[in-house]
Amino acid sequence: MNLNSCIQCGTCIASCPSGRITALNTRRIIADFISSGKKVEERDEIWFCVTCYACQERCPRGIEITDTLIEARRTLVKNKGLPGRLSNAFTFLMNKAALVPAREEHVELRRKLGLPIYHAQFDEKAREEVRRIVEKHLGSVVR
């Protein structure tokens, strides 16, 4: 079933765990596509989808909503690379083997207390392993 068969019932967004707390609204994405031709890959909020497939499973029209979002993300990454914030996150992961940067004041406090700093919580071998995995799978799309 293609997106044009959507009847705007809202079952997808009512089932969406991400839509409760983010700007993701699959019903609206599809409505805009039908009414103005706005492509799914032009919607920044598609990155909030956690691919749980609840929407796709419950859609009364059998629209492959999750697969459409995944395909849109794939097209985006292929054409433009990862969006800035994800690219930054993976670059950080590649360089530091951690996804969230440690806050300076926490690093300083741990240093004062004689605790190891965050990145030192993993041994060098583990960090190198993480770097190699990210580089191998995402190196070409991280910009």
Which residues of the shown chain bind ligand SF4 in the complex (CB under 6 A)? Answer: 6-12, 15-19, 24, 26-27, 30, 49-55, 59-61, 63, 65-66, 69
Give the residue with the Cβ less far from ligand SF4, 19 or 43: 19
From the CB of 87, what's the least distance to ligand SF4, in Å? Answer: 21
Residue tagged 């993976």 (tokens): 90
Asked whether 139 and 94 are in contact (CB, 8 A), the reply is yes
Would you report the helix, strand and coil content of the chain in percent, each value rounded to 5? 60, 0, 40
Asked whether 101 and 93 are in contact (CB, 8 A), the reply is no
Give the residue with the Cβ less far from ligand SF4, 66 or 77: 66
Residue tagged 């583990």 (tokens): 126
From the CB of 56, what's the least distance to ligand SF4, in Å? Answer: 6
From the CB of 106, what's the least distance to ligand SF4, in Å? Answer: 32
